[in-house]
Amino acid sequence: MGAQRKGASRVSEDSEELARVSLQAVLLADSFTTKFRPITLERPKVLLPLVNVPMINYALSWLESAGVEEVFVFCCANSKQVIDYLENSEWVSLPDFAVTTIESHNSISAGDALRLIYERNVIHGDFVLITGDTISNMPLTQALQEHKDRKKKDSNAVMTMVVKRSKPSPITHQSRLGTDELFMAIDHNSKQLLYYEDRADDSKGIIHLDKSLLMDNPSISLHNDLQDCYIDICSPEVLSLFTDNFDYQHLRRHFVKGLLLDDIMGYKIYTHEICSSYAARIDNYRSYDTVSKDIIQRWTYPLVPDVKFFGNSAYKLERQGMYRASEILQARSAQVGPFTVIGDNSKIGDNTKITNSIIGQGCSIGSNVTIEGSYIWDNVTIEDGCKLSHAIVCDGVIIKSGAELEPGVILSFKVVVGDQFIVPSYSKVSLFQQPINQDSDDELEYADNSSGIVEFADTTDKSNNELMSKSLEMQGLPASELGNGGIGHVWSICEGSVEEEWRHSVAPIPADRLEKILQKATDDELELTRDANVLPTSGELKSDSNVSDGDDNEDSRDDSIHFEKEVEATFLRGVHENIKVDNVILEVNSLRLSYNKVAADCAGALFYSLMKFALDSPHGSSSELLQNTTNIITKWKKLLKYYLTDMDEEIEVILKFEEMCLESAKEFTPHFTKILCHLYDQEIIQEDAILRWDDEKKEADDSDKLFVKQAEKFIEWLRVASEEEDDEEEE
């Protein structure tokens, strides 16, 4: 893999223009939210490791290289840890980049934080507003210039929000970051934001727009395919608006929606869409998983493990996205798979297998251990024979021999899992007791209580495990609950929160859950069709006037292109994240419903995706390309065969292959017959389909018979074999 992805841009690009003015930024160091409990009871969210680097370093590195000169870091809960970290870091010694902390224990929301910053009178012009869990490499020049130009023409243009294309899952209706499907209405010409809703009604995804919105804005565009990056360029008036309106607590739910509904003051919010750059906010465990994978796959370049930036140690990039630190000890028989990071001073024992995971510094991993899709932080001990699947394991945890972590498990700091113990899916384990009254993220956006501090009886200062076990028994939790020698509290999942656990987990959504959601979506669609057939199932708004056949054909072609791209993205996600075939099938089925396609369309799109993946995989010669292709077809034949239920689908695959060889992937042309034979050998394409394809080509022009002629001997062999079988049956 190259040092930089195509289309990615260096963060420092275009910062020369910004250097002419002193650009300031406000960074809200979100101390913790209930979504990251129990981890954030002990460490602020912005200091949690993201690919072995504290989150806040990504945000500050981006701001510094994008031309920002002064950053005010607002700290609330666990503020001492954030302040101590920054004061002892390299950030305080940079000559042209000032980092100043503002501390408050009384602020309970982003609104309170911004009101306090207004009182301090430290912001003197336009500023960038982000949270400390924001990761980006976008240049700020263009967005900032657009904001300034609009402000000159209209003093009421007070904010520019950065957005990015990201279509939500048609099954779960959440983005790849685990956030709810977001609906935005934007003026197509001016880019003014007119409507913002991140929570659709329970009425099956239906949203309600005011008629005046449509009448006053003839070029309105309604989107559910935009991601809010939570990067805002603000005029100073934003701070005064928070001060004038004490009911503004949340940045989006109160401030943004409040301005959109206020037709008296006339303040306006605009959008700036980024295309090749990266921007995302880590809002839950699923977005933590997604952004970590994006970093490893280099979408965030130059903020990647093998490039030195503030707060990280440079790693060596090896084949298939594997990163290794210089000082590691790995047994010869251990297997480290693709898209994996191994930190300094970590040890890996015999016959251990690690795939799609991040290992921190100073970890000791025993023999015969399996780790898949997991995040192992610093100084973790995993003894022999353990199995970890899609879990987060914090600093200092000990997992004793033979223990197993099922998908979605969170082990907070210094927890001990006993011998042979199986931690059930989505369990959260901590040395802290589960709080009786938990504040909801629906109520607070920034901090979790008025003091910013939650008081718990911390039992981490005991001198040995025996004392800890006795302490746990006195608190009502038997030590045996975590197995022999286990230490920690298993938090119960609150009633009604089960769905939130698997939606926001680092683990892939279980197949049975997807099936239920898909079935419900199908039932709802049928019900809507029965109730009213005014709107098409896609939700697209169409005029009552007749549309020409040409327009219909154009729309159909566009739909087919989008469908194939969506299927390809789904397949690649399955490859890179090691998703089970059954789950990929569910995703493709949801796309099939969404785009109103048939099985043949799915078969053709999937075959295209497999072949393109083979073509994009590293190969030094034509023979290596052929070997790659046959290996990939063999591995994914179950996925392809699912959509080949009859001869028509099989012929569609052959036609798609012909089309690729003639147009988009001519490298396959000399191998057409060999690959066709392999599809036959793997029982993906049956002989009847191949012979029917040959028959249909008999009346075609010679130019359309290129591949029939190339496969002539193979086809003749099939015909002879078929005739012999017929003769035997007659006898």
pLDDT at 203 over 50: no
Confidence class for position 58, pLDDT limits 50, 70, 90: very high
Based on the number of CB atoms within 10 Å of its own CB, is 558 exposed (0-12), middle (13-18) or buried (19 or more)? exposed
Q: What is the C-alpha to C-alpha distance for residues 707 and 711, in angstroms, rounded to an integer?
A: 6
Q: Is 408 left (phi over 0), alpha (psi -120 to 50) or beta?
A: left
Measuring CA to CA, how many Å separate 115 from each of 72, 236, 239, 576? 14, 12, 6, 44
Q: Tell me how far apart the alpha carbons of residues 568 and 607 are, in angstroms, rounded to a whole number.
A: 9
Phi then psi for residue 410, to 5 deg, are: -120, 120
Which letter does DSSP use for residue 14 in this model? T
Phi and psi for 399 in degrees, rounded to 5? -115, 110
Supply φ then ψ for residue 71, to 5 degrees.
-125, 130
Residue 193 near residue 260 (C-beta atoms within 8 A): yes
Check whether 153 has a pLDDT greater than 90: yes
Top-ranked range on mean pLDDT: pick from 195-199, 312-316, 328-332, 435-439: 328-332
- pLDDT at residue 623 is higher than 90: no
Q: How confident is the model at residue 550 (pLDDT cuts 50, 70, 90)?
A: very low
The answer to pTM > 0.75 is no
DSSP 181: P
pLDDT tens sequence across 672-711: 999 999 999 988 998 888 888 888 877 666 667 788 888 8
Q: Is the peptide bond before 510 cis (omega within 30 degrees of 0)?
A: no
User: In the prediction, which pLDDT does 552 show?
Assistant: 45
- Express each pLDDT in 365-405 by its tens digit: 999 999 999 999 999 999 999 999 999 999 999 999 999 99
pLDDT of 455 above 50: no
The highest-confidence range among 186-200, 465-479, 717-731, by mean pLDDT, is 186-200
User: In CATH, what is the architecture of 24-200+215-285?
Assistant: Alpha-Beta Complex (3.90)
Q: What is the pLDDT of residue 241?
A: 92
Q: For the chain, how many helices (H) and strands (E)? A: 22, 35
In the predicted structure, residue 602 carries a pLDDT above the cut 80: yes
Q: What is the pLDDT of residue 526?
A: 54
> Given a cut of 70, is residue 621 above it in pLDDT?
yes
DSSP 498-546: HHHHHHSSSSPPPHHHHHHHHHHHHHHHHHHHHH--SS-TT-----SS-
- In this prediction, residue 121 carries a pLDDT of 92
Q: pLDDT digits over 9-54, tens only?
A: 444 444 444 444 589 999 998 744 568 888 888 898 999 999 999 9
Render pLDDT for 345-371 as a digit per residue (tens, 0 to 9). Answer: 999 999 999 999 999 999 999 999 999
Q: Which fold has domain 558-730?
A: 1.25.40
pLDDT the model gives residue 441: 43
Beta-bridge mates of residue 410: 392, 428
Q: Please compute the mean of the pLDDT values over residues 629-649 and round it to a whole number.
A: 88
Q: How confident is the model at residue 78 (pLDDT cuts 50, 70, 90)?
A: confident
Q: Give residue 391's pLDDT.
A: 96
pLDDT (0 to 100) of residue 544: 36
pLDDT at 321: 83
The CA-to-CA distance between both ends of the chain, in Å, stands at 60
Domain residue extents for the chain: 24-200+215-285, 316-434+481-493+501-507, 558-730
What is the Cα gyration radius of the chain? 28
Instruction: Supply the mean pLDDT for the chain.
Output: 81
Peptide bond into 38 cis (omega under 30): yes
Q: How confident is the model at residue 547 (pLDDT cuts 50, 70, 90)?
A: very low
The CA distance from 156 to 192, in Å, is 12
CA distances from 112 to 246, 251, 601 (A): 8, 11, 53
**What pLDDT is stored for residue 702 in this prediction?**
65
Top mean-pLDDT range of 44-48, 431-435, 570-574: 44-48
Q: Confidence band (pLDDT; 50, 70, 90) for 495?
A: low
Tell me the mean pLDDT in the region 709-723: 84
Q: Does residue 439 have a pLDDT over 70?
A: no
pLDDT band at 214 (very low <50, low <70, confident <90, very high): confident
pLDDT at 267: 92
Under DSSP, is residue 103 helix (H, G, I), strand (E, B) or coil? Answer: strand
Share of residues in the chain with pLDDT > 90 (%): 39
pLDDT for the residue 19? 43
Span of 209-218, 380-389, 461-470 with lowest mean pLDDT: 461-470
Q: Is the pLDDT of residue 238 over 50?
A: yes
Cβ atoms within 10 Å, residue 464: 7
User: What average pLDDT does the segment 533-557 reach?
Assistant: 42
pLDDT, residue 373, reads: 94
For 278-313, write each residue's pLDDT tens digit: 999 998 999 999 999 999 989 999 999 988 876 566
Other beta carbons within 10 angstroms of residue 575's beta carbon come to 17
316-434+481-493+501-507 is a CATH 2.160.10.10 domain: yes
Q: Six-digit token pair at 243?
A: 């001060």
What stretch of H or E contains 351? none
* Ramachandran bin of 92, using left for φ above 0, alpha for ψ from -120 to 50, beta for the remaining angles: alpha
> To which residue do tokens 């001519």 refer?
666
- pLDDT beyond 80 at 142: yes
Q: pLDDT for 408-428, tens place per residue?
A: 999 999 999 999 999 999 999
Four-point Cα dihedral 37, 42, 44, 50, nearest 10: -80
Identify residue 543 by its one-letter amino acid code.
S
Burial of 255 (0-12, 13-18, 19+ CB in 10 A): buried
Separation between Cα atoms, residue 452 and residue 108, nearest integer Å:
7
Angle at 375 between CA 374 and CA 376, to 5 degrees: 115
**pLDDT of 516 over the 50 cut:** yes
Assess contact for 162 and 231: CB atoms under 8 A: yes
- Taking 3-state DSSP, the helix, strand and coil percentages for the chain, each rounded to the nearest 5, stand at 40, 20, 40
The pLDDT assigned to 496 comes to 54
Instruction: Identify the band that residue 527 occupies on the pLDDT scale cut at 50, 70 and 90.
Output: low
Give pLDDT, residue 559: 67
User: Is pLDDT of 466 > 60?
Assistant: no
